[in-house]
Structure 1
Amino acid sequence: MHEIKVFENGPLDVEVRSLRKDGQTWLVLMDVARVFGYRDSGRVLHLLRDSQYIQADEDIKEELGVRGRAPYLVNEGGFYRLALSSGRPEAEPFQIWVEEEVLPTLRKGYEAGIDVLEETQARVAELEARNAKLEVAAKKADEYAEGVYHTMLRYQKETDRENRFQKEEWEKAKDFWANAYMRMREEAGRICEEYGISEDRLPIV
């Protein structure tokens, strides 16, 4: 959407509509032609070079509120060309007004827009650089977390393996001492039977 600026001059009883398109200032040709005394804005096209005017597209036409055929727009070079070609004394005050108020105001607004654009672009670049650093930091954090997870998993496996080993060794020890105790009881019983001694007199539980 284009920002349409309307400049009015009460003493001269004139109105000029303007806009910015593709980084260039354009004035509505019918407004300029009316003040310079050109009754038919379409006929003044032959006074302009092809690079000094364009026909508005449908979007601009709707924004200007124009019915019928899309209006023509004239740039600064075309404006000065029409001013010189007019030759009407009453056109001079209008030319001065446009030169000293309309065009400088448009340029100032455009330069302010450029400043805002550059500031925005710098801010975007700063945020992109910061996001890039955050992405690197996040990647390192993920790698560290993954390393910690695998270390803990490996430690858990080793602990489980050690616990299983200790349990197996404990079971083996119990079996060994149980078997040793049984063999000792059997040997003690044999000795008691051989010598006619009661097992109750032996200090073996």
Structure 2
Amino acid sequence: MDNKIEIFKNEQFGEVRTILEGEKVLFCAADVAKALGYTNPNKAVNDHCRAITKRSTPISGKVQSINFIPEGDVYRLIIRSKLPAAEKFELWVFDEVIPTIRKTGGYMTDSLLERIQKEPAVIVEFAQALILEKNRVKALECELNTAKPKADYYDAFINPDDCTNIRTTAKELKIPERKFVQFLLREKYLFRSPSGQLLPYNKDSNAGLFIVRDFVTYCYTGSQTYFTPKGKEVIRMKFQKKYAEELLPKMAR
């Protein structure tokens, strides 16, 4: 495996070493902890990170084993940091560095600059990829800003303890889970994201039916859809109207 290091430089946070493995970006754990102001970086990494992995990398002419962490662990270090600029570090890493790496295979590092000097056409490819990624991020930001007022309202007035995920909701309504999911997709309550997650459509008719919670595990981040009490009742009535004989015979008892 080619563990070629790319070094990202920031005037405020110094240098952060990274490795790109396929679509996965790994960060030097010590560099991240130092950038976030931890007085004991090694202890911070051991206390807060769940997916530490060692990679052999050349340092000062010698191959050494260094601890690297995935995005999820970077986020854990960020939220536990007391550094006032931790949020700015988060924006730099997640809004600029990672998207650029994923689209171009690297950042504007010394190695890329050297390649551009030898092959000027490379800068066109890099610029096009960067523009596409920035446009995508901008579109997502607009979508999130539109949805945020509604999300804030429902998060404030809906008790998460009263909400259930898709599997539990299907059991409560006595509907086979597979048919339940098919119905939700067909009736445009939910859609399946490129990563396979079932998420609600952002439309007025869905208001108050669902809440979406983000989660972070040791190797995965994502979102999960939950049904509110109102959502369960609306779906139950919809099923009764359309599929009473086929799917809900027990609800008539």
TM (norm. structure 1) is 0.45
Judging by fraction of residues, say which structure has more strand.
Answer: 2
User: Over alpha carbons, which structure has the higher Rg?
Assistant: 1
Normalised by the length of structure 2, the TM-score is: 0.37
More helix by share: 1
